[in-house]
Amino acid sequence: MRLSRGFLPTLKENPAEAQIASHRLMLRAGLIRQTAAGIYAWLPAGLRVLRNIAQIVREEQDAIGAQEVLMPTLQPAELWRRSGRYEAYGPEMLRLTDRHERDLLYGPTNEEMITDLFGQSVRSYRELPQVLYQIHWKFRDEVRPRFGVMRGREFLMKDAYSFDTDPEAAVATYRRMLLAYLRTFQRLGVAAIPMVADAGPIGGNHSHEFIILAPTGESGVFYDGGLEEQDWLSSEIDLADREALAGFFTRVTSLYAATDEKHDEAAWAEVPADRRREGRGIEVGHIFYFGTKYTESMGISVSGADGAPFHPEMGSYGIGVSRLAGAIIEASHDEAGIIWPDAVAPYKAAILNLKPGDAGCDALCERLYGASPDALLLDDRSERAGVKFNDADLMGHPWQVIVGPRGAAAGRVELKRRATGERVELSPEEALERIGLPAVGGPGGHAA
RNA sequence: CGGGGCGUGGCGCAGCCUGGUAGCGCGCGUGUUUUGGGUACACGAGGCCGCCGGUUCGAGUCCGGCCGCCCCGACCA
């Protein structure tokens, strides 16, 4: 995208309503704009971030055999009356009425709907297991929305639901999902630590929260540094092998991790001192296994091997996609602005043309930009260099390709890594290669 | 939902106490200048002062009501 043509409204001053870093930076970098309390519009760059996050989440869900669906945002109250939650859910649920006086609600979650959909179609244990997910907007009418997109009322969430024949199979599904989450967060470039959460109606330790470490986090966290060192992307775990899954689960859960509410001083004392990590964190995911709660209350059953009907075992698994956009910034920014992890950045790099109008600069910038116009942001505005540097730092592109008259004349550009501030001078081809983009095509070779 | 605060050009704010022609900085437009870290000058555009009602000769300013937004707490993907 050419910045001169893009809808990327950056703000020089801090909006009065934004208190925390991510909220401030998202507004200033032109990612979002507020429409009402806790409700935001996503501008082009923000939407790209959201999509990048969602795509990684999607790929990792698919990798464990989950299938994507898309359910409505509006649900009939009837569905929730069946599970008993229409009355149980508080004012956080946005209730509305259509022209025929039928009660509807804007979904705060989808257990009822998915369970109903499942029940309509699945008849036999032979069709199990099933894991279905969607990435969709939800609404919870929070009393007090805050922290921008991290605590909004409307939010984008990946929610998955699993159906299994028995508790053992359900636990295996749970463990696969845990692995998928670890891989997802690792790919997103953030440290998200799984912490034991409230066990729920089934008991046991099959409920985990995933917490991103950030100084402004809402809860205090304590964990074993060993959890940071794991490489889940390259560890081969046979998803069909329950023994292997159990081993993996033990590997994760044997390392201490807890939020302040569940912190256990005795267990903490057993963690080697040099591996004790203490800080604050933001919850970005939650997985839990809850058995037959909904299949039972909603009267959903399938035939077992013996011909007798039974209620499938369920779990549900959420990731706050829009919250992650904010949480990642909380975990990765500095005084100048956002520092995007490569995987979620709206643009891989910004090309800063320090002197538009200079034939050498223009030609070199166009050549670089032409290599991947979609992945790159070309700052071709007739602004002063300082403005471009500041905006690039603010928007947090992982790389900046700085093209000035002197360098252009020599066929050299300066490549700056946002995260480290490191700068190197090299050829345009080398710069693109470092960024991980295909080389410049077409005639010309080196710049004149 | 308890407590506190704020609504004035796009953004950040002053003006309100003590009523009398709506201001400042940034941004925006035009021109000149400048050209490696938010440059300088000149000219210019842009405002139902959140909304409704009241007091008054006169309301951004005083009074009442309403709406919206933010912060602290309780609650939460």
Could you give the count of Cα atoms lying within 13 Å of A123 in the half-sphere of its Cβ? 1
Q: How many helices (H) and strands (E) does chain A have?
A: 14, 23
Length of chain A counted residue by residue: 448
Q: Tell me the ipTM for this assembly.
A: 0.88
Return the closest-CA partner of residue A194 out of A262, A287, A279: A287
Distance CA A88, CA A400 (A): 52
Across all strands, nucleotide nearest A392 (CA–C1'):
B37
Straight-line distance from CA A70 to C1' B26, in Å? Answer: 45
Instruction: Tell me the pairing of strands A376-379 and A257-259.
Output: unpaired
Taking the C1' atom of every nucleotide in all shown strands and the CA of A358, the nearest one is: B35
Closest CA to A242 of A331, A173, A290, A150: A173
Q: Which nucleotide lies nearest residue A138, CA to C1'?
A: B77
| Secondary structure, 3-state, A177-203 | HHHHHHHHHHHHCCCEEEEECCCCCCC
**pLDDT for residue A74:** 94
Token digits of residue A38: 């806790």
Closest CA to A115 of A72, A65, A161, A73: A161
Whether domain A21-71+110-338 has CATH 3.30.300.30: the reply is no
CATH 3.40.50.800 in chain A is located at 349-435
Number of Cβ within a 10 Å radius of residue A256: 23
A349-435 folds as Rossmann fold (3.40.50)
Q: Which nucleotide is nearest to A326 (CA to C1')?
A: B77
- Domain ranges in chain A with CATH number 3.30.930.10: 21-71+110-338
Q: Which residues contact A189 (CB under 8 A, 6 or more apart)?
A: A328, A332, A341, A342, A343, A344
Distance CA A13 to C1' B12 in A: 7
Chain B positions with any atom < 7 A from a protein CB: 1-2, 11-13, 25-27, 34-39, 68-77
* Distance, Å, A388 CA → B42 C1': 26
The token pair at A259 is 């939020």
Extract the tokens encoding A175: 């463990």
Checking each nucleotide's C1' against the CA of A27, the nearest proves to be B11
| Distance of C1' in B25 from CA in A358, Å | 33
- Gap from A173 CA to B19 C1', Å: 72
For residue A419, which of A353, A331, A327 has the smallest C-alpha distance? Answer: A331
Name the nt closest to A155 by C-alpha to C1'.
B77
Which residue has its C-alpha nearest to nucleotide B71's C1'? A19
> pLDDT tens digits, chain A, 448 residues: what are they?
999 888 999 998 888 888 889 999 999 999 999 988 999 999 999 999 999 999 999 999 999 999 999 999 999 999 999 998 998 888 889 999 888 999 999 999 999 999 999 999 999 999 999 999 999 999 999 888 989 999 999 999 999 999 999 999 999 999 999 999 999 999 999 989 999 876 555 555 688 999 998 888 888 899 999 998 889 999 889 999 999 999 999 999 999 998 888 888 889 999 999 999 988 899 999 999 999 999 999 999 999 999 999 999 999 999 999 999 999 999 999 989 999 999 999 999 999 999 988 889 999 999 999 999 999 999 998 888 999 999 999 999 999 999 999 999 999 999 999 999 999 999 999 999 999 998 765 444 443 3
- Look up residue A386 and give its two tokens: 């300082």
CA of A151 to C1' of B1 (A): 18
CA–C1' distance A352–B58 (Å)? Answer: 56
SS3 category, A24: helix
**C-alpha to C-alpha distance for A215 and A219, rounded to whole angstroms:** 10
Our measurement of CA A194 to C1' B52, in angstroms, reads 53
Taking the C1' atom of every nucleotide in all shown strands and the CA of A156, the nearest one is: B77
Residue type, A29: A
Burial of residue A397 (CB within 10 Å: 0-12, 13-18, 19+) is: buried
Q: Å between A140 CA and B11 C1'?
A: 30
